Amino acid sequence: MKINIVKAASGKANVSALFFVKQSVQFSNIISEAATVQVESVLKGMVDGPFEDLELLEIDGTSTIFVNAAKERGISSLDHLRMAAYRLAKKAMARQIPVVNIMLADAADEQFKAIAHGLNSANYKFDAYKSKQKDNFQVTFEIVAGDKSSDFKAIEEEVAVEQTAVTLAKNLVNTPAADLTPEDFVENAKTIAKYTPGLSIKVRDVKQLEKEGFMGHVTVGKGSERPPYMVTISYDGTKSSSRAGKKSERTSADHLVLVGKGLCFDTGGLCLKPPKSMPEMISDMTGAATVLAAIQAIATLKLPLKVSAVLCLAENAIGNKSVLPGDIFTAKNGKTVMVDNTDAEGRLVLSDGLAEAGLIGATHIVDLATLTGAMVRALGYAIAGFFSNDDPLALNIINSGEASCEKFWSMPLEEEYADGLKDKFADLKNTGSDAGAISAALFLQEFVPADTAWAHLDIAGTAFVTKKWKYTEYGATGFGVQTLIELARRMSNATAASEEYKEI
């Protein structure tokens, strides 16, 4: 699939595409008045029928695909455009149409970006394990942008970077656990750090983790023959960046640290999971895959912000050294934890990741984890719940999600449930008595460094689907990658705006 941004139509298109919302023609001022009348006549004829996508009708002598941009319920106007573009691309590939022309000269930047994301999303498939593989038919989408062609080209370049990151996250999550052990994950991270300018990497193996007191990883991973690792990837875009044709040293103290749960497989340990839910546990490393993909994109985009990613990698397996219910360990921050349930392991490795974020000087921490079934039951597969101790960060996450067509819902850090985490022998236990998702967040809060803005994103419902949802037929959704990139973009823009004000 290829996107060409042009100022005027080249005449090479086999088919034109037109987005519409029921009977309202979108971007109608770029087609002739006579064509608009024909379009409206066609749409009026659909008034009593379902508003399905139409195919290859003649408008001004040109074969035209009409794509309904309001087919799905409950999504934003931008996501409507994404979905319409996704269906258009799927249809064009299925019909093997070489060149499709889309008139978008009067589209806003965010509308074009949504359409570009939708077109790119249709190109993804995971067939590495199929005995017979077939390439997608390559469609060229010619975007007629008029005077906006240069702006759209810049946007399309950003979309390409973001989609590369989403593909990375999806591929990691969809890879079977036998082929993506914690050590394999480390090798992937090393490769990305090596070939992405601006990234540096630090890897701690199990001996270093134990020596430095990161006992969450050690406790969770000791039942597996595949030892745990913690990976810290760093990017500093605050050092030399150009703005308005001049070099500047940014003075922002902001340091965004992304912490990802990376359970490459989760059996539940001795508190074994039910067999039916076991196959999906290849996705329990989605948090780590998401933050790795996000920092790769942030560095590629050269965003002027200091960002780090901490990958908390382990395998929760059953072995003769497995952690036992009732075992107690001392966490990195000195608090003792009784393992009440071995299947509440994600919060244990995250306790180390949060500690590491503090050690490297985080001012803002966002952790992502497929953490609780309670969140799935509360919000389902379309919305991720999150918790935060900082209102500006929480609002920024919601807004970043909206811009990325990803839904987040703010949940309460209800202190009334905190007493449920108290243990008779240790400072804490890893499960609470009520409100599972809230209790998990309250547990994590115990390890957040003082005076640090923090948000915990529980993506258990949105990370992996077993039925078609939006741009995913089955498996990893890539949810969260674009929100993290957008969050970093907004934080860096806020820094830039502040510096511009100072210079004035």
CA angle 24, 26, 28 (to 5 degrees): 100
Residue owning tokens 């942030």: 298
Of the candidates 332, 347, 407, 429, the residue annotated as catalytic is 347
Q: Give catalytic status of residue 7 as yes or no.
A: no
Which of 161, 365, 359, 157 is closest to 259 using CA atoms? 365
Please spell the DSSP secondary structure of 305-327, one letter per residue.
SEEEEEEEEEEE---TTPPPTT-
Contact, 477 vs 463, CB < 8 A? yes
Q: What is the DSSP letter of 463?
A: S
Beta bridge partners, 364, equal 256, 453
- How many CA atoms lie less than 13 Å away from 280 in the CB half-sphere? 19
Strand-strand pairing, 54-59 and 62-68: antiparallel
Range list of β-strands (E), 325-382:
328-330, 336-338, 364-369
φ, ψ of residue 232 to 5 degrees: the values are -120, 120
Contact, 323 vs 339, CB < 8 A? yes
Give dist(CA 202, CA 97) in Å, integer.
Answer: 47
Residue 112 CB partners (closer than 8 Å, separation 6+): 104, 143, 145, 148, 152, 155
Give dist(CA 143, CA 112) in Å, integer.
Answer: 9
From the CB of residue 500, how many other CB atoms can be counted at a distance below 10 Å?
12
**Dihedral angle computed from the Cα positions of residues 11, 15, 19 and 20, in that order, rounded to the nearest 10 degrees:** 120
Of the candidates 202, 273, 302, 335, the residue annotated as catalytic is 273
Contact, 464 vs 382, CB < 8 A? no
Contact, 315 vs 228, CB < 8 A? yes
Q: Give catalytic status of residue 468 as yes or no.
A: no
* Active site residues per annotation: 273, 347
